[in-house]
Amino acid sequence: MKAWKIYERMIAQLFADQVSTGLCVTPNARIMGSRSGVLRQIDVLIEPRHTPDFLYRSIVEAKRIARKIHVKDVETLLGMMDDVDARHGYLVCPTGHSDAALRRAQDTVRICLIPLDRIADFDPTAWPECLGACRGGRIFWDGFPQVEMKATQADDPLGRIKLLAYPQKVGKCDVCGAFHVHCLSCGDTLLVPHDVSEEDFGHQCSCRLPWFWLGSVEPDELGRRSAELQLILGSGDVTTVNRRPL
Ligand SMILES: [Zn+2]
Ligand SMILES: [Zn+2]
């Protein structure tokens, strides 16, 4: 894997480790620019996990460059933010920035220094391989929902109810964006397509308990579409656990 790509993935991982669980992180996202009308590549996209809300969309640009960040780099990011409706931007670089760049950044862009030598402890090729049709993609886990089930204990004369927990990992491929789910109870990894056919009734792990996963495509009020990953419980409760723009 190329060094700039490893740097980009490391930045995605650092953000995923630090943001609240209500936000989801998409490495290598593509968003249709509302002004340019072309697809823009975003190194790391951060947006609300459960419902689409552009007020909380942030983008991260990882600049693996030897020179300092200039005013122009900040302005390029501001232009990108405007095009993809992001309210906050992060410019990440290993070397530093000029004073003018910092002044131009103001409150909407934050410049973060992350040294290259941190790459030494980071290996995205250790991430599991994508189960979709893409070649060379890796699964980036950014969500850790837990499915909880109530079970009555048959051998308990008082009929007490026990709460059983089934931890899960959810995420997407860093190349094609396909959703994946990993059940830590049975060890299964499932590929969950978002463009569901009529025969797709959902995906279930070997636990064979009353929950399953389903992909979908949802437009917001302005017609911008997101791929979503839904967790559907036997009770009928549906939770959106991951998303990415289409
Ligand atoms: Zn893939
Ligand atoms: Zn399972």
202: which 2 tokens? 């959902």
How many A from CA of 207 to the centre of ligand 2?
Answer: 4
| CA–CA distance, 96 with 114 (Å, rounded to integer) | 9
Question: What is residue 219's predicted lDDT score, i.e. its pLDDT?
Answer: 87
Distance of CA 3 to the CA centre of its chain: 21
* DSSP conformation class of 120: G
- End-to-end CA, the chain: 25
CA distance 128 to 95: 31
Centre of ligand 1 from the C-alpha of residue 129, in Å: 8
Q: Are 74 and 109 in contact (CB under 8 A)?
A: yes
222 Cα: distance to centroid of ligand 2 (angstroms): 37
CATH 3.40.1350.10 placement within the chain: 3-125
Residue 137: per-residue pLDDT: 93
Torsion sign across C-alpha atoms 107, 143, 10, 138 = negative
CB atoms within 10 A of CB 193: 15
pLDDT score recorded for residue 199? 77
Q: Which residues of 97-132 are buried (b: 16+ CB within 10 A; e: fewer)?
A: bbeebbebbeeebebeebeeeebeeeebeebeebeb
Three-state SS for 209?
A: coil
Distance from the CA of 202 to the center of ligand 1, in angstroms?
19
Shortest-distance ligand to the CA of residue 27: 1
Q: Which residues surround ligand 2, an ion (CB under 5 A)?
A: 183, 185-186, 205, 207
What is the Å distance from ligand 1's center to 189 Cα?
14
Can you tell me the distance from the alpha carbon of 197 to that of 228, in angstroms, rounded to the nearest whole number? 15
| The pairing of beta strand 88-93 with beta strand 58-62 | parallel
In this structure, whether the domain defined by 3-125 belongs to CATH 3.40.1350.10 is answered with yes
pTM over 0.85: yes
**In angstroms, what is the span from residue 165 Cα to ligand 2's centroid?**
11
**Eight-state DSSP code of residue 119:** G
Question: Distance, CA 110 to ligand 2 centroid (Å)?
Answer: 40
Tell how far the Cα of 210 is from the centroid of ligand 2, in angstroms.
Answer: 11
- List of E strands, 64-160: 88-93, 109-113, 139-143, 146-152
Residue 8 neighbours by CB distance under 10 Å: 24
The torsion angles phi and psi of 134, rounded to 5 degrees, stand at: -75, 165
| Centre of ligand 2 from the C-alpha of residue 122, in Å | 28
Chain centroid, CA 192 distance in Å: 15
Per-residue pLDDT tens, the chain, 246 aa: give them: 788 888 889 999 999 999 999 999 999 999 999 999 999 999 999 999 998 887 889 999 998 888 899 999 999 999 999 999 999 999 999 888 999 999 999 888 998 888 877 777 788 888 999 999 898 899 999 999 999 988 877 788 887 888 899 999 999 999 999 999 999 999 999 999 998 877 778 999 999 999 999 999 998 877 788 999 999 998 889 999 999 999
- Residue 64 is predicted with a pLDDT of 82
Residue the block writes with tokens 């391989």: 129
Nearest bound ligand to the CA of residue 189: 2
